[in-house]
Amino acid sequence: MRHDGRTALVTGGARGIGLEIGRQLADRGLRVLVAARRPEAAEEACRAIGPAAVPLALDVTSARSVTEAVREARELTGGIDVLVNNAGVSLDGDLRPPYVDEDVLHATLDTNFTGAWRVAQAVVPGMVEAGYGRVVNVTSSYGSLTLMDSGRRPAYRISKTALNALTRMLAAELYGTGVLVNAADPGWTRSGMGGSSAPRGPREGADTPVWLATLPEGDETTGGLFADRRPLAW
């Protein structure tokens, strides 16, 4: 498959929403780096996506892994134009605040928030240098301060609140550089995390992240939180 010269890196790209994001980006002509902790999982996903997909071993919880993976990605493609921070975990289930084990809290933040920060820190400088970039942080309305109340999955929710804050800070810092930074809520989607009873399929869940990842040159949409391509309150 031919590609338009743009390269996208999708973390957590081996299954669920991440796999579908990669598939849709490839369908739009991008080369897709499918990043996953297990190389064999990334390779299997690439076979499902097609020849535009390239497997990449990347563990967002390891600074060394991120550095090495981004270096390999640049050697393979010349640069990364689009970053979709999709890797995420939900470990606290039905627990409610303040009753969450600290190990669960730390592990959740390390993947969902710090992991996204690590990858952005490694990728964004190259985007700024090139004068073009799209960063999409896959988040959840569970992290919205406007909608925040008590409830289950407190560690997961806090991690997405922090990811939303990072989105806004990055967007403001990079304003005018050609790098657009936005957050996408895919909705409750059937996946390893969302479960089989979710009302949406991966195709619907991937739509808004893919839309933000492919905003055309000259677009100034940045610093926003979107669901179904419509703005949501932070």
Give the residue extent of every domain in the chain: 7-231
pLDDT digits (tens, 9 = 90+) for 110-147: 999 999 999 999 999 999 999 999 999 999 988 888 88
Mean pLDDT of the region 15-35:
97
Architecture in CATH of 7-231: 3-Layer(aba) Sandwich (3.40)
Mean pLDDT of the region 24-36:
98
Mean pLDDT of the region 224-230:
96
Mean pLDDT of the region 180-208:
80
Name every residue whose Cβ is closer than 8 Å to that of residue 117 and which is 6 or more positions away in sequence: 166
Mean pLDDT of the region 158-179:
98
Compute the half-sphere exposure of residue 24: CA atoms within 13 Å on the CB side of its CA: 21
Q: What is the band of 193 on the pLDDT scale with cuts at 50, 70, 90?
A: low
User: Which of the pair, 136 or 93, is modelled with greater confidence?
Assistant: 136
Q: What is the band of 1 on the pLDDT scale with cuts at 50, 70, 90?
A: very low
User: Which are the catalytic amino acids?
Assistant: 156
SS3 per-residue string spanning the chain: CCCCCCEEEECCCCCHHHHHHHHHHHHCCCEEEEEECCHHHHHHHHHHHCCCEEEEECCCCCHHHHHHHHHHHHHHHCCCCEEEECCCCCCCCCCCCCCCCHHHHHHHHHHHHHHHHHHHHHHHHHHHHHCCEEEEEECCHHHCCCCCCCCCCHHHHHHHHHHHHHHHHHHHHCCCCCEEEEEECCCCECECCCECCCCECHHHHHHHHHHHHCCCCCCCCCCCEEECCEECCC
Name every residue whose Cβ is closer than 8 Å to that of residue 218 and which is 6 or more positions away in sequence: none
- Of the candidates 157, 175, 177, 155, the one whose C-alpha atom is nearest the C-alpha of residue 167 is 175
